[in-house]
Amino acid sequence: MFRENALKAKIAAGEPTLGVWLQMSEPSIAEIASLVGYDCLILDNEHGFASLDTTVHMMRAAQAGNATCMVRCPGSDGDYMKRVLDAGAEALMIPMVESAAEAKAIVDACRYPPQGRRGYSAPTVRASGYGAAPDYADRANDNLLICVQIESDNAVAQAGAIAAVDGVDLVFIGVADLSGSIGLLGQPGDPKVTRQIEKAERAIRKAGKPLGTIPRPGHSLTDLVAEGYSFVAGLADAYLLRAGMQADVDAFRSSINQADKSTTKPAGKSAAKKTRKIKSK
């Protein structure tokens, strides 16, 4: 079903938006996440294990609510992006973009001519409702949201040029991989990482493009919105499921332990009663 890109419209209107990472490739989770009110579902085909078929099922399920479906591709392969777009992705997130030339190639692969070189099969693909939206090809270029990720020391140096590419709608700073690129993997709160993030922020803002990222130490989701980020995404479905299950197990074990303690009689008192009985005889 072709529809207006709600996420793109909200970002353009200056509204803060929230995404969730879906890595477990389960359509029911996509359905729930869309129904509870997330602005965007990031269908993670980079770190998740979804096939294209599963991704389509997740997009179908998400249409139970209003969330925009953003597919994070494994890389910048134009053929993969074309297939995902034909399948109905409303937004794409491309990881590890290192240069303006790469960003331009991504945009070209996602746009129909004359703005790009996306292959044409609009009347028959799911993205157009299999032809139910006859104006799909005329509207697809403007409706699509293209998000590129700045995730390395080298990319930070090119952040301004990458952001300035026409057709790049959102620049997402991947702080985890960025920290790893400067020898500080798993330490996104380190001052050296902070300086790189701030350098990228300045360049992207100067280019006039919206910013996206994930939380890091000292910068919660609400902090990031206050700092001017348009799009934030913190939690992943696998984490949420594990945390909920772990809390359930921990609460059960704790309650059982407390019940056992309250029903166990101290050994000293029991021994004392036995002694009194023997003496009385």
Catalytic residue positions, numbered = 47
What is the DSSP secondary structure assignment for residue 218, as one 8-state letter? Answer: T
Which tokens hold the place of 10?
């909200």
- Cis status, amide bond into 114, omega within 30 of 0: yes
> Are 19 and 48 a contacting pair, CB within 8 Å?
no
Token pair belonging to 139: 């509207």
The three-state secondary structure class of 110 is helix
Contact indicator for 128, 136 with CB cutoff of 8 Å: yes
Nearest CA among 106, 114, 104, 56 for reference residue 79: 106
Residue 146 gets the label, from left (phi > 0), alpha (psi -120 to 50) or beta, of beta
Angle (CA) 121 126 129, round 5° = 100
CA separation, residue 267 to residues 88, 132, 148, 271 (Å): 69, 78, 67, 6
Burial of 238 per CB tally in 10 Å (0-12, 13-18, 19+): middle
